[in-house]
Amino acid sequence: MEALDYHAEERRKAEFDLEEMKIVWAGSRQNYEISDRMARLVASDPVFRKDNRTMLSRKDLFKDTLRKAAHAWKRIIELRLSEEEAHMLRSYVDQPAFTDLHWGMFIPAIKGQGTEEQHEKWLPMAYKMQIIGCYAQTELGHGSNVQGLETTATFDPQTDEFVIHSPTLTSSKWWPGGLGKVSTHAVVYARLITGAQDHGVHGFIVQLRSLDDHSPLPGITVGDIGMKFGSGAYNSMDNGLLRFDHVRIPRNQMLMRVSQVTREGKFVQSDVPRQLVYGTMVYVRQTIVSDASCALARAVCIATRYSAVRRQFGSQNGGPETQVIDYKTQQSRLFPLLASAYAFRFVGEWLKWLYTDVTQRLQANDFSTLPEAHACTAGLKSMTTSVTADAIEECRKLCGGHGYLSNSGLPELFAVYIPTCTYEGDNVVLLLQVARFLMKTVSQLGSGKKPVGTTAYMGRAEHLMQCHCEVERAADWLKPSVILEAFEARAFRMSIACAKNLSKFSNPEDGFSELSPDLLEAAIAHCQLIVVSKYIEKLQQDIPGKGVKRQLEILCNVYALHLLHKHLGDFVTTSCITPKQGALANEQLRLLYSQVRPNAITLVDAFNYTDHYLGSVLGCYNGNVYQRLYEEAWKDPLNDTVVPDGYLEYVWPILKQHIRTARL
């Protein structure tokens, strides 16, 4: 069975160098080699098997997660893996675990908000996993509104301690991953109170469990919040609840890089600007954007490979039926998602550069680009995660009925992925933050202050308000300058329209609330412009490999013109293009689908995902779908017996008419 390759003919059609495309996808040859090595290391290790995840009970699933996390750490130590290699290995294990929050939130929070002394004390223990941490911010009653958190940290000058307390039911910490059963420590966010004064929300390092027997420390109530959406999915994670009953911690366990409390109980702002806190936020959100491209690529890989295997209708004179991927309806739904995966990959690369640039500027006390970077990462986190969540579900539909099976890999991928639309900032709330930034930028246009970075296009206000699209034939839409100007004009005119409507309100906040749906659309237009512009910038770089750049150009045009088609109303109503030009864009889009088709399988091969990582019988590399589906069916526990448990008690009496209606 393994020797067969039902996709071999599809792969022979490819018009580009696959190995070079793999390197482009990975970002560099070094990244590709590390990724490939770690993926194969995980796939070849029987401890990391995951084909039975959906059949495990919650307790067995969680124990399986603990086993895999411990084995991963053992392999990391044995092989002396670098930080990057270790991160790759954990990601390919592909099972949400307490380690995600330890490495992804707990350590970055201490690095970003702790003093040098706190770094020296806590980070060595955290890096060696002598302590395991989580990030306890969200409460039962408050998530997005961080300033509304209710947990208190009251300074006691008599003992030089903070008293951490949960004054209400809704102040219970709720949702932190790793908290429920594993974490020994947490970065807890609470309202800092000195004397009778509330200084707002600050972070504190709090020990939760004994390092001897793992029991909760006095005053701490902690547990798991229960089953979540999906079968395996995020149920491998111990999302937790936490309450404090006057728990005391030393004063030096407040994260004091930005602000401090003295021995006398005086609240003092340090010399380090408070904006540094946003650096950690920018870091976390840029990683989420990169993860979005991976999740989207995974779903697209499954749907594309299956669409090339599945045949339905179209048979003539006894010949084979038509491959589903050859239907234009399938292409028009699938290929824009394929293009989006590449687009998100490239904007994710750019965000990594942006984070590095912002970090260097912050260290030099240059905060000029921070507001723009904050808005940019907030908007792209929102847009890419929303699109990816919807796209995974669309890929499930593209796989027909078989996509509903757990072993298709898509239901579980969807269940694991959709929390990203909420955590690290609710997507709607984040877009409204972007909208505020855009309105502020527009308001400063006449002041002589030039917009920078991703809002630099607003500096050409007069041109963007007056320009008209010069498209006369479909092929004109292949010009990057034409596409870019259309997206810039649309984004700018939508922002200007919102600003004008806001000016009609005597109270700006009332206006913002009333016009929030329009502001959301303007924010989305701005974010889509960023992705399109960064993709075009990518194409201006030197891209080696036979046919690679040509394929990336095709996908870039598919991405942009699909967005134009989807949001045609915005482009037309803002007079950026005419209805006829919109029709020409759609005509060109159909032609582009035909150019993607011969390369579709090889384009998803470039993601270089192992069958183990994909976890999908529909998306397997060799395309032997039906044999695998049949074999997997017999592995289900229900098929352990021919006659089901419960037959004699419940089915037999029905068949033999032994059940009688009781008389009342």
Q: How far apart are CA 314 and CA 310, in angstroms?
A: 12
Say if residues 297 and 285 touch (Cβ distance below 8 Å): no
| CATH number for the domain running over 130-271 | 2.40.110.10
User: Quick one: CA dihedral 403, 413, 51, 46, positive or negative?
Assistant: positive
pLDDT number for residue 102: 97
Task: Please state the φ and ψ torsions of residue 614, each to the nearest 5 degrees.
Answer: -65, -40
Kindly report each contact of residues 217-225 with a partner whose C-beta sits within 8 Å and lies 24 or more positions away, as own/partner. Answer: 217/247, 218/247, 219/244, 219/245, 219/246, 219/247, 220/244, 220/245, 220/247, 221/245, 222/179, 222/180, 223/180, 223/181, 224/180, 224/181, 225/174, 225/175, 225/180
418 CB contacts (<8 Å, ≥6 apart)? Answer: 229, 389
pLDDT number for residue 262: 95
**Residue 2: pLDDT above 80?**
no
Q: What is the pLDDT of residues 347-388, one digit of tens each?
A: 999 999 998 888 888 778 788 888 888 899 999 999 999 999
Instruction: Say how many Å lie between the first and final Cα of the chain, rounded.
Output: 62
Could you tell me the CA-to-CA distances from 479 to 347, 553, 555, 557, 589 in Å, in that order?
20, 10, 13, 9, 13
Could you tell me the CA-to-CA distances from 306 to 310, 362, 393, 630 in Å, in that order?
6, 48, 15, 15
**Residue 663: pLDDT above 80?**
no
Q: In the predicted model, what is the mean pLDDT of residues 468-494?
A: 97
- Judged by DSSP in three states, 311 sits in strand
**Residue 662: pLDDT above 60?**
no
Known binding-site positions: 138, 177
pLDDT number for residue 282: 82
Q: What is the token pair recorded at 599? A: 């390369």
Q: In the predicted model, what is the mean pLDDT of residues 579-584?
A: 98
pLDDT number for residue 661: 58
| Residue 659 banded pLDDT, cuts 50, 70, 90 | confident
pLDDT number for residue 281: 78
Per cent of the chain over pLDDT 90 is 88
Name the region of 265 (left: φ>0; alpha: ψ -120 to 50; beta: rest).
left
Query: Which is catalytic among the residues 10, 372, 412, 424?
Result: 424
Q: How far is CA 434 from the centre of its chain?
A: 18
Say if residues 162 and 123 touch (Cβ distance below 8 Å): no
Q: Which amino acid is at 143?
A: G
Task: Please state the φ and ψ torsions of residue 270, each to the nearest 5 degrees.
Answer: -80, 175
Say if residues 444 and 371 touch (Cβ distance below 8 Å): no
pLDDT number for residue 585: 98
pLDDT number for residue 1: 43
Q: How far apart are CA 50 and CA 405, in angstroms?
A: 15
- Judged by DSSP in three states, 459 sits in helix
CA angle (282 as vertex; 487, 23 as ends), nearest 5: 70
Q: Which of 29-33, 368-372, 380-384, 486-490 has the lowest mean pLDDT?
A: 368-372
Decide which of 363 and 239 is more confident: 239
| CATH number for the domain running over 1-43+274-634 | 1.20.140.10
Say if residues 540 and 456 touch (Cβ distance below 8 Å): no
pLDDT number for residue 249: 98
Say if residues 140 and 147 touch (Cβ distance below 8 Å): no
Known binding-site positions for FAD: 138, 177
CA angle (128 as vertex; 122, 132 as ends), nearest 5: 65
Q: Which helix (H) or strand (E) holds 165?
A: strand 161-165
Q: Which of 186-190, 541-545, 599-603 has the lowest mean pLDDT?
A: 541-545
CA angle (619 as vertex; 391, 16 as ends), nearest 5: 85
Average pLDDT of the chain?
Answer: 94
Q: What is the pLDDT of residues 37-94, one digit of tens each?
A: 999 999 999 999 999 999 999 999 999 999 999 999 999 999 999 999 999 999 999 9
DSSP readout, 129-152? TSS-EEEE--BSS-SS-GGG---E
**Residue 635: pLDDT above 50?**
yes
Q: What is the token pair recorded at 171? A: 């102040």
Paired with 220 in beta bridges are 244
Q: What is the pLDDT of residues 131-179, one digit of tens each?
A: 999 999 999 999 888 899 999 999 999 999 999 999 999 999 999 999 9
Q: What is the token pair recorded at 556? A: 């870039």
pLDDT number for residue 368: 81
**Residue 664: pLDDT above 80?**
no
Sole residue written with tokens 């995600």: 100
Closest CA to 555 of 291, 350, 345, 318: 345
pLDDT number for residue 273: 66
Q: How many residues does the chain have?
A: 664
Q: What is the token pair recorded at 5? A: 């390759």
Q: How far apart are CA 262 and CA 267, in angstroms?
A: 7
Decide which of 272 and 76 is more confident: 76
Assess whether 424 carries a catalytic annotation.
yes
Domain-by-domain residue ranges, the chain?
1-43+274-634, 130-271
